[in-house]
Amino acid sequence: MAPLRPPKAPRKLVDVLTDDEVARILACLDADTASGCRDMAMIVVYLDSGLRLSELMGLKLADAHIDQCYLKVMGKGAKERIVPIGSLAQKILQRYIYHFRPESLYNDHDYVFLTLEGKPLSSNAVKLVFSRLARKSGVKRFHAHLCRHTFATRYLANGGNIFFLQQILGHTSLEMVKRYVTVASEEVALQHVKFSPMDRMNAVRLKALKKPKRGNGSRRG
């Protein structure tokens, strides 16, 4: 049995959300209502930070450094890490916290995301939010962990560093992060069709080239 090698398990490509799907999901939410603004803040932070569900639910108000554009989260193995957020996530978080977030009923558990009554949100409650949005938007495959995959892939496709991504996601090994590289590379290739420098350069317009006539000093090869 020594010469035999164990079969390799097939590695599936990571599934991510498209821009159109994200737009359809966010369009189902009303940021002028308490529940709508809260749900939009959760999803935007999800897509912009790659947090795990447990990390988002466990995020406390004191650890949300919104003005400095970062969150301090408690990850697996009770390890704290710093997770940056962009300006859009910053704005929607500020809107939720300052205008719609209720007072917490428990001073020792002052979480960012609360129910309308001021109680901590459970993971089941968040999953129900995602299920409702999946039905309403028509993006039936929408679920919480898909946001983490989408963040990681887009981060790399936009030029992010794989080592920084490892730290942001809280992975101890690069192996868990490398699976996003293939998907990100494919997305970059697709984007090149839209943003190819030569295709979009107005100064150089090549007309259809005529086939060269034989003779006239032309050579084959």
**What's the distance, CA 26 to chain centroid?**
14
**What's the distance, CA 145 to chain centroid?**
9
> Which run of H or E residues covers position 82?
strand 80-84
Residue 136, Cβ density class (10 Å: 0-12 exposed, 13-18 middle, ≥19 buried): middle
> Which run of H or E residues covers position 72?
strand 70-74
Active-site residue numbers?
52, 76, 145, 148, 171, 180
Between CA 177 and CA 170 the distance in angstroms is: 10
Among residues 98, 89, 76, 81, which one has the least CA distance to residue 49? 89
Maximum Cα–Cα distance for the chain, whole Å?
89
CB 52 within 8 A of CB 148: yes
